[in-house]
Structure 1
Amino acid sequence: MIENGLRDLYLRYIAALNAHEFGSMDEFLSEEVLLGGEPGTRDAVVEVLKGIVHAVPDIHWEIEEMIFDRDGIAVRLTNTGTPAKEWLGVRPSGASFKIVEYAIYRVRDGRFIHMTNLHDSAEMLRQLTT
């Protein structure tokens, strides 16, 4: 996939995430996906995403930077939200978070086959508990 195709794929993916359109994830995710190097499935990824939105209904992913290399995408995002339900062991208090996420994807046949994400979880927990 050339850079413009990868860019378009990722922009549509983030738009679907932000709209909570989980029924369209088969457009973006292969049936079998490596999640941080571990074998997984599209359904497993969708369940994780649904769980996040269930706990943080206003979660928003904002793209800050994208880099493309052949069949790979590297992204820096800002994630924001206010948990409405217990999440990551923290009861909702009305506190919001704003953290950085780094994500790396590999694409084959127009779908993600490898997804790795790194979040500043310690910073997020600090924001939610202070």
Structure 2
Amino acid sequence: MAPESTEAVMNRFVEFINTGDEKLAREVISPDAVFHAPSHPEPLQGPEGYMEVLGMMRSGFPDVEWTLEETVTEGNTVAARFTMRGTHDGEFFGIPASGNKISVQAMNFYYLADGRIVGERGQPDLLGVMQQIGAIPTR
């Protein structure tokens, strides 16, 4: 996959995660895609699986927004660093809304084929999230 098309896929992906647009999800994510998220013990699949993760995030942080800070591409693999920002206005992992603002990093690997994402291994800073919403002490 050419770097331009990889960049285009990643830009569309960011648009998808920031809007939650199901049509866009089907365009950018393969139906057979496999996602490994630390929030789920088993891998999630396809656009529906990613919508599940987004739903979980949006239920705790309705205004959540991801900014793609940098990428490194090798072949069909993209390493991406994001900043995730939002306000804890809903329950998240059993923690009631605190109203606290969060800003944390995530490092993810994406696997692409035929202009779509076919896999992801994500590592968001869940410790940072839990500290910023007051669920875990910072010291």
* TM-score (ref. length: structure 1): 0.91
Gaps of 5+ in 2: 37-41
Alpha-carbon shift at residue 70 of structure 1 (Å):
1.1
Letter in 2 for 1:27: E
* TM-score (ref. length: structure 2): 0.85
Which of 80, 91, 107 pairs up with 2:112? Answer: 107
The equivalent residue for 1:33 is 33
Q: Aligned equivalents of 1:45 and 1:3: distance in 2?
A: 24
Per-residue CA deviations over 1:11-31 (Å, capped at 9, x if unaligned) read 111022212323320111111
Q: How many residues align?
A: 130
Per-residue CA deviations over 1:30-83 (Å, capped at 9, x if unaligned) read 111222294623212212212312331110101111111111111001101112
Q: Aligned equivalents of 1:15 and 1:45: distance in 2?
A: 13
**Does 25-34 or 42-51 show the bigger shift?**
42-51
Letter in 2 for 1:23: K
Alpha-carbon shift at residue 89 of structure 1 (Å):
1.8
**Does 53-62 or 95-104 show the bigger shift?**
53-62
Gaps of 5+ in 1: none
The equivalent residue for 1:12 is 12
**Relative to structure 1, is the Cα distance of residues 91 and 115 closer, same or farther in structure 2, using a 3 angstrom cutoff?**
same
The equivalent residue for 1:78 is 83
The question of whether the paired residues in 1 share the 8 Å contact of 2:62 and 2:90 is answered with no
Q: Taking every aligned residue pair, what percent have the same amino acid on both sides? A: 22
Q: Aligned equivalents of 1:39 and 1:121: distance in 2?
A: 18
